[in-house]
Structure formats: C-alpha cells, structure tokens
Amino acid sequence: KHNPEGDGQFLEDESTKIFARKVAEHYSARTNQTLEQREASVIIHLKKLNNWIKSVLIQLYTRRGDAVLDLACGKGGDLIKWDKAKVGYYVGIDIAEGSIEDCRTRYNGDADHHQRRKKFSFPARLICGDCYEARLDEVLADDAPFDICSCQFALHYSWSTEARARRALANISALLRPGADGLAFGNSIYWIRFDEEFSEKKFSSSSPFGIKYKFHLEDAVDCPEWIVPFHLFKALAEEYDLELVFVKNSHEFVHEYMKKPEYIELMRRLGALGDGNQDPTTLSPDEWEVAYLYLAFVLRKRGQPDRT
Ligand code: SAM
C-alpha cells in the first residue's frame, strides 16, 4: 500500500504543476458569455443536457439543509441548482482565479444582469485553490463535515498522477460525513488526441496514472486531461471508505430518468427536451456522441449516519 500522506515518494514533479497551471489559466481566461452568445453556441444542447444531468443528480442526492463541498466549482453555474435543493451551507473551491472571482460576483447577486434574482438563501465560502494538491481537511477544518461533496466535470484533472488522485479521494473522505497523437478521434465539435509517447509507453506501462490526452470541445475546453480507469478509481475510492453507489453515463442517465414525468418537465424547463427522434433531447448527433464520454457517479462514505 502506498502512503497517501506522502512520505516523499509522491512528491509532485514540476511538469504536473505546470499542467495544473495550464488548466487553471485555460478556465480563468474564459470570460462570461451573454445569454445570446450562450444560445448561439454550437454545443448549447450538450450544455443543456449536462445541466439537466447535474440538476437531477443534485435533486436525487441532496437533502434540505445539507452542507455542500463543491470541488472545482468553476464560475458557480450550479449555485442556483444548490439553492433549489435548499442546501444549508456551501463551500466552492476552484483552481482558476478568474472563475472563482466570477463565482463570487454571481453569489453576491450582481453578475446575472440578464437573470436578476434574489440573493442565495445559503451562506457560502468561495476559495481559490488546487483541490488535488492542498490538504483540504486542514483548510476546511472549521467547515467540515460535509453531507455532500460534488465534483462536476472535473474529477479527471486529478488523475494526472497517483499522488493527486489519492489526494482528491483523501480530501473527499476526510471531509464527508459517514453514511452520507498516436491516437485521435472526434467529430465536428470535439476531438481527443493521445500523445505520441502514449502509444509507446503508456499502453505497456503498468501505471494507470498520467495517461494524458488533449481534449478539445468546441466553445468549452481545450486543455490536457487524464484517463480515469474507472474500475481502478472505484477500488482506490474503496480504500478511503468511499463506496460507489451510482454510476451511469449520460446516455443511460437520460434513458433511465426520462421515464419520470418530473424530470421530463425539468428537461423541458431547462430547454433540452427534443422531439424524440434520435434521443429525447435537443442534442445534435455529434453532441449526443460527446455526451457518451461523460459518466455521472456518486460515492457514499461508509459508516453509520450520525444524524437522522
Ligand atoms: N464544476 C463546474 C461546472 O460543472 O460548471 C466547472 C466545470 S469545468 C469543466 C472544470 C473546472 O475544474 C474548471 O473550473 C477548472 O478551473 C477546475 N479545476 C481543474 N483542475 C482543478 C484543481 N486541481 N483544483 C480545483 N479546480 C480545478
């Protein structure tokens, strides 16, 4: 067994830090879009589907009054979803200074000029930091434990090295309340490319970490990311008393939850409900293909709940 607290063997090398910085700079540089720009995006339907999946997940697993830790919270696009779930406390952390700044502005109520809304009903703490490097149990000692730890569309950034993947899980486990070019492919809106070194070295290497690819998604992402071999992620999470209780990719997710009238209605309200030809959503075939890349999952911390 490795020592997750780091006895020196998992010290980060400089390139890992440089890549984390690159990811941060990429997201920091993305400015807020107007409503019109957003609607004109070539991946607007994919964005709406992803929003729907996040909304349903949050509704499925959040109870009124829950304390929520949102790792890699971005610009706070999910604040409204947490508000609707009537959470009691929210801590959002993101590595991108620009995104956390936008998140603060949104939380304070003066960002969404096109969507004026009342102040959020829960207190929040918004922090700029690297969730996969920092000891969050120390940073958040006064805020823990949390009932929910959410990490949306960002867990793969932790998988650049074993140390970071372990730090991510150690952070989650420590803060959650118990109970609670070688290869390229894509389509018109995305491409994934593995480095040359990947095919030679990584396929034969025994390490499941650091399998880097470049992900490009039109109007959204263009930066290095890492493959997460899911069965190993699940096994690693088990080591931290985090049990996999839910896993579905977006296609399965849609087919399962579009059987329920309230979620069909939610998708209609979010503007992602289609006419039912290829799939139940408004996504183009290329967007629908991208949706297949994403996996929604939930981990539960083992143990007896200490509240009813
Ligand atoms: N969770 C938000 C959402 O669903 O709207 C944002 C998702 S965005 C695709 C990915 C986010 O991960 C970016 O905001 C990025 O800055 C953040 N991120 C990447 N690496 C991170 C790290 N090491 N620590 C904290 N945040 C990180």
Burial 140-170 (b: 16+ CB within 10 A, else e): beebbbbbbbbbbebbbbbbbbbbbbbbbbb
What Rg value do the Cα atoms of the chain yield, rounded? 19
Q: Does some domain include residue 306?
A: no
Nearest to 221 by CA among 154, 158, 136, 295: 154
Q: Output 281-288 pairs: Cβ under 8 A, ≥24 positions apart.
A: 281/45, 281/48, 281/49, 281/52, 281/254, 282/45, 282/48, 283/45, 283/46, 283/49, 284/45, 286/187, 286/188, 286/189, 286/190, 287/43, 287/45, 287/46, 287/49, 287/189, 288/251
Lowest mean per-residue pLDDT among 150-159, 187-196, 202-211, 262-271: 202-211
The answer to whether residues 248 and 218 touch, using CB atoms and an 8 Å cutoff, is no
Nearest to 96 by CA among 147, 26, 31, 39: 26
Q: Does some domain include residue 188?
A: yes
Q: Does some domain include residue 81?
A: yes
Confidence of residue 63 (pLDDT cuts 50, 70, 90): confident
The answer to whether residues 53 and 250 touch, using CB atoms and an 8 Å cutoff, is yes
Structure tokens at 120: 């959020």
- Average pLDDT taken over every residue of the chain: 87
CB-based pocket (< 6 A), ligand 1: 20, 23-24, 27, 72-74, 77-78, 93-96, 99, 130-132, 152-154, 157
Distance from C-alpha of 56 to C-alpha of 16, rounded to nearest angstrom? 34
Q: How far is the CA of 227 from the centre of ligand 1 (A)?
A: 16
Q: Does some domain include residue 266?
A: yes
CATH number of the domain that residue 157 is part of: 3.40.50.150
Q: Does some domain include residue 5?
A: no
SS (H, E, C) 83-122: HHCCCCEEEEEECCHHHHHHHHHHHCCCCCCCCCCCCCCC
Nearest to 90 by CA among 123, 61, 120: 123
Q: Give tens-digit pLDDT for 3-44.
A: 444 443 445 567 888 899 999 999 998 877 888 998 999 999
Averaged over 207-218, what is the pLDDT?
90
The answer to whether residues 286 and 189 touch, using CB atoms and an 8 Å cutoff, is yes
Q: Is the pLDDT of residue 249 over 70?
A: yes
Q: How far is the CA of 259 from the centre of ligand 1 (A)?
A: 31
Select from 17, 26, 46, 94 the residue to mutate for testing ligand 1; criterion: most ligand atoms less than 8 Å from CB: 94
- Which pTM was predicted? 0.75
Lowest mean per-residue pLDDT among 87-96, 106-115, 163-172, 174-183: 106-115
Structure tokens at 90: 């929210």
Q: Give tens-digit pLDDT for 257-306.
A: 999 999 999 999 998 887 765 557 788 889 999 999 999 999 999 998 88
ipTM confidence: 0.99
Q: Is the pLDDT of residue 183 over 70?
A: no
Q: Does some domain include residue 190?
A: yes
Q: Does some domain include residue 3?
A: no
pLDDT at 299 (0 to 100): 96
% of the chain beyond a pLDDT of 70: 86
Q: Where is pLDDT greater, at 182 or 255?
A: 255
Averaged over 161-182, what is the pLDDT?
87
- Domain span at residue 56 reads 15-301
pLDDT at 283 (0 to 100): 86
pLDDT at 194 (0 to 100): 80
Q: Does some domain include residue 8?
A: no
From residue 176, give the alpha-carbon distance in Å to each of 169, 197, 217, 295. Answer: 10, 38, 32, 21
pLDDT at 4 (0 to 100): 43
Number of domains in the chain: 1
Question: CB atoms < 10 A from the CB of 199, how many?
Answer: 13
